[in-house]
Amino acid sequence: MLKRELYVTDDGSNSIYLPEWNEYYHSKKGAVQEAMHVFLDMGMHVSCELARSRATQQFMQSDSEVRKRTPEKLSISILEYGLGTGLNAFLTAQHAPDGVHINYTAVEAYPVTVDEIKMVDYGNKLGDNALYMRMHELAWESPQALTDNFTITKLEQKFQQIDAKEEHDVIYYDVFGPRVQPDLWSIEMIQAAHDALKKDGILVTYCAAGFVRRNMIAAGFTVERLPGPPGKREMLRGRKG
């Protein structure tokens, strides 16, 4: 097991540092800023908007009897590669838009310990320690309701075991960087992520490396280079056509 230490990032939020790999769980420029920009703003919110506009279109095209019925609650499904400290999951639960239910699946082979959860202290820092602790206390391997509009399924397994097919609207591809885990950025791994998405689903990642972009294109994504979070020029978003 690799040694894990506390690291305070430039926006004041905590992260975990792996000294043996000289690698971080989040951007050194700001863990919370990165999560909010890359995963929530460029991923979750975009998908919620898409779900809303689809539902509006369907409503407009439906007949008058259908229009009288109470509209169904919208839902989107997010798959996270790397639950880690749970920062992305926690922020997504906190910022899930009204009227949208988020079904969140998080895969993690090396869960953090209770001491590490307390060490990063996102619950207190982000204003809802009860929610953050509850998220970590929920059982693994089955869907668990965290809030009225956020259900989480934590899966203790390797990313290489992911074999979902057309199940998810968004993928948070938050694996360690290519310098330390290049195999997790291979065409095969990205192809499996592409397979896991529904049509029009999106994959967001903090990584902007040229070979990752090319592997995403080879796996079938239409790829956009987007402005990165503070301190990082670019990030990538792929859309499954």
Residues that bind ligand SAM (CB under 6 A): 25, 82, 84-85, 87-88, 107-110, 158-159, 174-176
- Which lies closer to ligand SAM via its Cβ, residue 109 or residue 114? 109
Listed in sequence order, the residues at least 6 apart from 217 whose beta carbon sits closer than 8 Å to its beta carbon are 223
Q: Are 34 and 43 in contact (CB under 8 A)?
A: no
Among 170, 167, 241, 176, residue whose Cα is nearest residue 209 = 176
Q: Are 73 and 49 in contact (CB under 8 A)?
A: no
**How distant, in Å, are the alpha carbons of 3, 34, 142 from that of 42?**
32, 11, 27
- Nearest residue to ligand SAM on Cβ basis: 84
- Which lies closer to ligand SAM via its Cβ, residue 52 or residue 95? 95
Q: What's the min distance (Å) between Cβ of 57 and ligand SAM?
A: 33
Q: What's the min distance (Å) between Cβ of 234 and ligand SAM?
A: 18
Q: What's the min distance (Å) between Cβ of 69 and ligand SAM?
A: 39
- C-alpha angle 209/212/214, rounded to 5°? 110
- Which lies closer to ligand SAM via its Cβ, residue 74 or residue 180? 180
Q: Are 91 and 40 in contact (CB under 8 A)?
A: yes
- Which lies closer to ligand SAM via its Cβ, residue 59 or residue 110? 110
Q: What's the min distance (Å) between Cβ of 31 and ligand SAM?
A: 8
Q: What's the min distance (Å) between Cβ of 117 and ligand SAM?
A: 10
Among 46, 96, 43, 39, residue whose Cα is nearest residue 73 = 96
- Which lies closer to ligand SAM via its Cβ, residue 177 or residue 220? 177
